[in-house]
Structure 1
Amino acid sequence: MTESSKPVRQLRLVLAVDDYDAAVAFYRDALGLTEEAAYQGEGDARVMILDAGRATLELANPAQVAMIDRLEAEGSPSLRMRVAFEVVDSQAATDDLVAAGATLVAAPRETPWRSLNSRLDAPEGVQVTLFQELDSP
């Protein structure tokens, strides 16, 4: 398949949030995602599109999920869907998100695949993994 014939050009994860301002403060201000666009409509309808870098879709079977949960979060089970962000400094980003309202599930720890991962429960029921690659690509 050539680059021009690939049918998908972007992965966009849409979060329906009850507290829009708190979500913006968490993802844009605390996590540092860059605002690409924001729109308002009638009835206080608001949306903000944040650039999260390159998007991938990770598919994991139950055995892999259990292994990741064991390594990343001391066996604490993850939700069916978890959002993972690659960051430059996992410890600093974890601290920033906890200060912004996330609940720490597991502090940063090195994984066998050489990343430093933490897990948090973010506002609005979203589970987040932060990972810092320890080896250069």
Structure 2
Amino acid sequence: MASENPSASEQWQHEPPYKIQGGDEFGAVYWTGSCQCGRVSYKLNREKPLDAKYCHCTGCQVLHGAPFQWAAIFHKSDMTFTHGHQGMDFYKSSEKKRVHDLPCKATCSYCHSPIMDEGRNVILLFPGLIKGNEKGNADVRRVFKPR
């Protein structure tokens, strides 16, 4: 019989952004996003990111196979995954381990699209995966413009 209280090593599965939240609990949805195959999808309840940036570090260049990555920063509570942590793989690059141990990177376990970099308090999402919101705002480039 499963315990009602998750162990400390599993607690992250029951906290944002992995905690599945409905409309009343989560609030207004401004943006949606998904991996390339659509198996991992999420919603955002913040209209604008806390910040947006281009990162040119070597780690990002290797991960994305490009000279830089475009990232938008959100609080973890600004996001909810449709299926919790299901369908996702995690990688802790500093230890070269496939484990959810912060900070870490999250990808779709099927198509391997990078979903986010997860820190202790914030997440870095990739605006190329984000789609317009319920209000018809599809101008991701303007709203998520790096500062």
TM class, shorter-chain normalised? Answer: 0.3 to 0.5
Under a length normalisation based on structure 2, what TM-score does the superposition of the two structures give? Answer: 0.33
* Higher fraction of helix: 1
Larger Rg: 1
Q: Relative contact order (C-alpha < 8 Å, sep 6+): which is higher? A: 2
Under a length normalisation based on structure 1, what TM-score does the superposition of the two structures give? Answer: 0.35
